[in-house]
Amino acid sequence: MAAHCAGGIRRGAESERSLDSSQQNQWKKAAAEAAAKLVEDGMIVGLGTGSTATYFVNALAKRVAHEHLHISGIPTSQKTAALARSLKIPLSTFAAHTQIDLTVDGADEVERGTLYLIKGHGGALLREKIVAAASKRMAIVVDETKLVDRLSGTFVIDGKNVSISPSIGIALFHADVTSAEMILEQADLAMYRAKAAGRKCYRWYAAGPAAAQAGRT
Protein backbone atom coordinates (compact mmCIF):
# COMPACT_ATOMS: atom_id res chain seq x y z
CA MET A 1 0.00 0.00 0.00
CA ALA A 2 1.32 3.44 -0.87
CA ALA A 3 0.25 6.88 0.27
CA HIS A 4 1.15 10.18 -1.33
CA CYS A 5 0.66 13.00 1.14
CA ALA A 6 0.63 16.77 1.13
CA GLY A 7 -1.51 18.86 3.22
CA GLY A 8 -3.39 20.85 5.81
CA ILE A 9 -6.90 22.07 6.59
CA ARG A 10 -8.24 21.46 10.05
CA ARG A 11 -9.52 17.93 10.55
CA GLY A 12 -10.75 17.11 14.03
CA ALA A 13 -8.16 18.50 16.45
CA GLU A 14 -5.30 17.28 14.26
CA SER A 15 -4.27 20.56 12.71
CA GLU A 16 -4.62 24.21 13.62
CA ARG A 17 -3.75 25.37 10.12
CA SER A 18 -6.43 26.35 7.68
CA LEU A 19 -6.18 26.23 3.89
CA ASP A 20 -8.53 27.50 1.25
CA SER A 21 -10.05 24.84 -0.95
CA SER A 22 -8.02 25.88 -4.01
CA GLN A 23 -4.73 25.16 -2.26
CA GLN A 24 -6.00 21.82 -0.96
CA ASN A 25 -7.19 20.91 -4.46
CA GLN A 26 -3.75 21.74 -5.86
CA TRP A 27 -2.20 19.28 -3.40
CA LYS A 28 -4.79 16.63 -4.25
CA LYS A 29 -4.03 17.10 -7.93
CA ALA A 30 -0.26 16.83 -7.39
CA ALA A 31 -0.66 13.65 -5.33
CA ALA A 32 -3.00 12.12 -7.90
CA GLU A 33 -0.65 12.93 -10.77
CA ALA A 34 2.19 11.23 -8.88
CA ALA A 35 -0.02 8.15 -8.46
CA ALA A 36 -0.84 8.12 -12.18
CA LYS A 37 2.87 7.62 -12.87
CA LEU A 38 2.62 4.21 -11.16
CA VAL A 39 0.48 2.89 -14.01
CA GLU A 40 2.35 0.84 -16.63
CA ASP A 41 1.43 -0.25 -20.12
CA GLY A 42 -0.80 -3.34 -20.20
CA MET A 43 -2.12 -2.97 -16.65
CA ILE A 44 -5.62 -3.61 -15.37
CA VAL A 45 -6.24 -0.58 -13.15
CA GLY A 46 -8.80 -0.14 -10.38
CA LEU A 47 -10.27 3.37 -10.51
CA GLY A 48 -11.26 4.78 -7.12
CA THR A 49 -14.06 7.13 -6.15
CA GLY A 50 -13.92 10.59 -4.58
CA SER A 51 -12.37 13.98 -5.21
CA THR A 52 -8.74 12.80 -5.17
CA ALA A 53 -9.57 9.75 -7.29
CA THR A 54 -11.20 12.09 -9.81
CA TYR A 55 -7.90 13.93 -10.19
CA PHE A 56 -6.19 10.55 -10.67
CA VAL A 57 -8.61 9.49 -13.42
CA ASN A 58 -8.02 12.78 -15.22
CA ALA A 59 -4.24 12.41 -14.94
CA LEU A 60 -4.45 8.80 -16.14
CA ALA A 61 -6.54 9.85 -19.14
CA LYS A 62 -3.82 12.30 -20.16
CA ARG A 63 -1.24 9.50 -20.06
CA VAL A 64 -3.49 7.22 -22.08
CA ALA A 65 -3.95 9.92 -24.71
CA HIS A 66 -0.40 11.29 -24.85
CA GLU A 67 1.65 8.16 -24.18
CA HIS A 68 -0.71 5.69 -25.88
CA LEU A 69 -0.88 3.47 -22.81
CA HIS A 70 -2.86 0.29 -23.34
CA ILE A 71 -4.75 -0.26 -20.09
CA SER A 72 -8.20 -1.30 -18.90
CA GLY A 73 -9.91 0.32 -15.94
CA ILE A 74 -12.31 -1.27 -13.45
CA PRO A 75 -14.28 1.51 -11.72
CA THR A 76 -15.51 1.49 -8.13
CA SER A 77 -18.66 3.51 -8.81
CA GLN A 78 -21.02 4.61 -11.56
CA LYS A 79 -19.71 8.17 -11.18
CA THR A 80 -16.13 7.06 -11.82
CA ALA A 81 -17.22 4.86 -14.72
CA ALA A 82 -19.01 7.80 -16.37
CA LEU A 83 -15.97 10.04 -15.92
CA ALA A 84 -13.60 7.41 -17.33
CA ARG A 85 -15.82 6.86 -20.38
CA SER A 86 -16.01 10.60 -21.02
CA LEU A 87 -12.19 10.73 -20.96
CA LYS A 88 -11.90 7.69 -23.27
CA ILE A 89 -10.29 5.38 -20.71
CA PRO A 90 -11.10 1.79 -21.76
CA LEU A 91 -13.17 -0.01 -19.09
CA SER A 92 -13.55 -3.67 -18.24
CA THR A 93 -15.33 -5.86 -15.67
CA PHE A 94 -14.60 -8.79 -13.39
CA ALA A 95 -16.18 -11.03 -16.01
CA ALA A 96 -13.11 -10.36 -18.18
CA HIS A 97 -10.46 -9.85 -15.48
CA THR A 98 -10.55 -11.47 -12.05
CA GLN A 99 -7.36 -9.78 -10.84
CA ILE A 100 -6.32 -6.14 -10.92
CA ASP A 101 -2.68 -5.06 -11.22
CA LEU A 102 -3.02 -1.73 -9.41
CA THR A 103 -5.86 0.17 -7.76
CA VAL A 104 -5.57 3.86 -6.92
CA ASP A 105 -8.09 5.37 -4.52
CA GLY A 106 -8.39 8.02 -1.86
CA ALA A 107 -9.29 7.76 1.83
CA ASP A 108 -11.35 9.77 4.30
CA GLU A 109 -8.87 9.33 7.15
CA VAL A 110 -5.43 7.75 7.48
CA GLU A 111 -4.08 7.00 10.95
CA ARG A 112 -0.44 8.01 11.37
CA GLY A 113 1.92 5.14 12.14
CA THR A 114 -0.48 2.26 11.49
CA LEU A 115 -1.80 3.53 8.11
CA TYR A 116 -5.26 2.22 9.08
CA LEU A 117 -7.93 3.83 6.92
CA ILE A 118 -11.52 5.00 6.95
CA LYS A 119 -13.16 4.86 3.53
CA GLY A 120 -16.64 4.96 2.11
CA HIS A 121 -17.89 8.44 3.05
CA GLY A 122 -18.44 9.00 -0.68
CA GLY A 123 -20.90 6.12 -0.78
CA ALA A 124 -18.92 3.59 -2.85
CA LEU A 125 -17.60 1.38 -0.03
CA LEU A 126 -18.90 -1.96 -1.35
CA ARG A 127 -17.35 -1.63 -4.78
CA GLU A 128 -14.19 -0.13 -3.34
CA LYS A 129 -13.71 -3.16 -1.08
CA ILE A 130 -14.39 -5.63 -3.90
CA VAL A 131 -11.89 -3.94 -6.21
CA ALA A 132 -9.29 -3.60 -3.44
CA ALA A 133 -9.58 -7.29 -2.55
CA ALA A 134 -8.91 -8.25 -6.18
CA SER A 135 -5.85 -5.98 -6.50
CA LYS A 136 -2.19 -7.04 -6.45
CA ARG A 137 -1.24 -3.50 -5.36
CA MET A 138 -3.27 -0.75 -3.72
CA ALA A 139 -2.14 2.88 -3.74
CA ILE A 140 -4.01 5.16 -1.34
CA VAL A 141 -3.58 8.80 -2.34
CA VAL A 142 -4.19 11.43 0.32
CA ASP A 143 -3.10 14.91 1.26
CA GLU A 144 -2.13 16.06 4.74
CA THR A 145 -5.70 16.96 5.65
CA LYS A 146 -6.60 13.26 5.81
CA LEU A 147 -3.85 12.33 8.33
CA VAL A 148 -5.05 11.85 11.92
CA ASP A 149 -3.57 10.52 15.15
CA ARG A 150 -6.66 8.39 15.80
CA LEU A 151 -9.46 7.29 13.50
CA SER A 152 -12.88 8.66 14.32
CA GLY A 153 -16.14 9.56 12.69
CA THR A 154 -16.05 13.23 13.70
CA PHE A 155 -14.83 16.15 11.58
CA VAL A 156 -14.49 19.84 12.36
CA ILE A 157 -15.95 22.04 9.62
CA ASP A 158 -16.09 25.81 10.18
CA GLY A 159 -15.59 25.24 13.90
CA LYS A 160 -18.47 22.76 14.20
CA ASN A 161 -18.22 19.06 15.05
CA VAL A 162 -19.76 16.98 12.29
CA SER A 163 -20.47 13.26 12.76
CA ILE A 164 -20.71 10.70 9.99
CA SER A 165 -23.85 8.61 9.62
CA PRO A 166 -24.52 5.75 7.20
CA SER A 167 -26.49 5.67 3.97
CA ILE A 168 -27.19 2.11 2.84
CA GLY A 169 -28.41 0.84 -0.52
CA ILE A 170 -29.76 -2.70 -0.76
CA ALA A 171 -30.25 -4.78 -3.90
CA LEU A 172 -31.37 -8.41 -3.96
CA PHE A 173 -30.46 -11.06 -6.48
CA HIS A 174 -33.50 -12.04 -8.57
CA ALA A 175 -34.38 -13.60 -11.91
CA ASP A 176 -33.81 -10.39 -13.90
CA VAL A 177 -30.24 -9.96 -12.61
CA THR A 178 -27.82 -11.26 -15.22
CA SER A 179 -24.43 -10.38 -13.67
CA ALA A 180 -22.64 -9.23 -10.54
CA GLU A 181 -22.07 -5.86 -12.20
CA MET A 182 -25.82 -5.43 -12.62
CA ILE A 183 -26.61 -6.03 -8.96
CA LEU A 184 -23.80 -3.68 -7.91
CA GLU A 185 -25.27 -0.97 -10.15
CA GLN A 186 -28.67 -1.49 -8.54
CA ALA A 187 -27.13 -1.26 -5.05
CA ASP A 188 -25.40 1.96 -6.10
CA LEU A 189 -28.69 3.48 -7.24
CA ALA A 190 -30.40 2.52 -3.99
CA MET A 191 -27.51 3.97 -1.98
CA TYR A 192 -27.70 7.34 -3.78
CA ARG A 193 -31.43 7.45 -3.01
CA ALA A 194 -30.63 6.76 0.64
CA LYS A 195 -28.07 9.59 0.69
CA ALA A 196 -30.63 11.96 -0.83
CA ALA A 197 -33.18 11.02 1.85
CA GLY A 198 -31.06 12.25 4.76
CA ARG A 199 -29.18 10.81 7.73
CA LYS A 200 -29.16 7.16 8.78
CA CYS A 201 -31.34 5.96 5.91
CA TYR A 202 -31.48 2.84 3.83
CA ARG A 203 -33.24 2.22 0.55
CA TRP A 204 -34.10 -0.97 -1.33
CA TYR A 205 -33.47 -0.94 -5.06
CA ALA A 206 -36.57 -0.58 -7.22
CA ALA A 207 -36.88 0.41 -10.88
CA GLY A 208 -38.17 3.90 -11.52
CA PRO A 209 -37.62 7.26 -9.80
CA ALA A 210 -38.38 6.08 -6.25
CA ALA A 211 -37.37 3.13 -4.13
CA ALA A 212 -40.07 0.63 -3.25
CA GLN A 213 -39.10 0.34 0.40
CA ALA A 214 -37.37 2.75 2.72
CA GLY A 215 -36.29 3.01 6.30
CA ARG A 216 -33.81 4.34 8.81
CA THR A 217 -30.89 2.55 10.44
Count Cβ atoms within 10 A of the Cβ of residue 145 and give its class: 0-12 exposed, 13-18 middle, 19 or more buried: buried
**Identified catalytic residue from 14, 33, 109, 128:** 128
In the annotation, is 128 catalytic? yes
Are 124 and 49 spatial neighbours (Cβ–Cβ below 8 Å)?
Answer: yes
- Residue 50: how many CB atoms within 10 A of its CB? 25
E-only strand ranges, the chain: 2-4, 44-47, 72-75, 100-105, 109-111, 117-118, 135-141, 147-148, 154-157, 160-163, 167-170, 201-204, 214-216
User: Which residue type is seen at 88?
Assistant: K
Active site residues: 128
